[in-house]
Amino acid sequence: MVFRFRRRNGSALASLAVALLAAVLSCSALLASGCNGITQSSAAPGTYVLQITGTGTGSNVIQYANLTLTITN
């Protein structure tokens, strides 16, 4: 019964295995990097305004948004 399932759904199992492998590798890459760009010693307490820019892939429309970040201590 297992061999019949593998013959009929082999491509589905292969796709699932590839997706699972990609998810595991992505998670481990994020955990390894740590995303630790700003440390407490390098950012002085205060209020910062960050401008975020996004560009549409099909339309090339550019939009901006301001993000206010307040650092205490």
Distance CA 36, CA 43 (A): 12
- Which residue did the predictor score with more confidence, 6 or 60? 60
**Given its phi and psi angles, is residue 60 left (phi above 0), alpha (psi -120 to 50 degrees) or beta?**
left
Of 13, 63, 72, give the one whose Cα is nearest residue 45: 72
Strands (E), 1-73: 46-55, 62-71
Span 35-46, mean pLDDT?
A: 66
Locate the domains of the chain by residue range.
Answer: 2-71
Summarised one tens digit per residue, pLDDT across range 14-37 is 777 888 888 888 877 766 655 555
pTM over 0.75: no
pLDDT above 90 covers a percentage of the chain that reads: 29
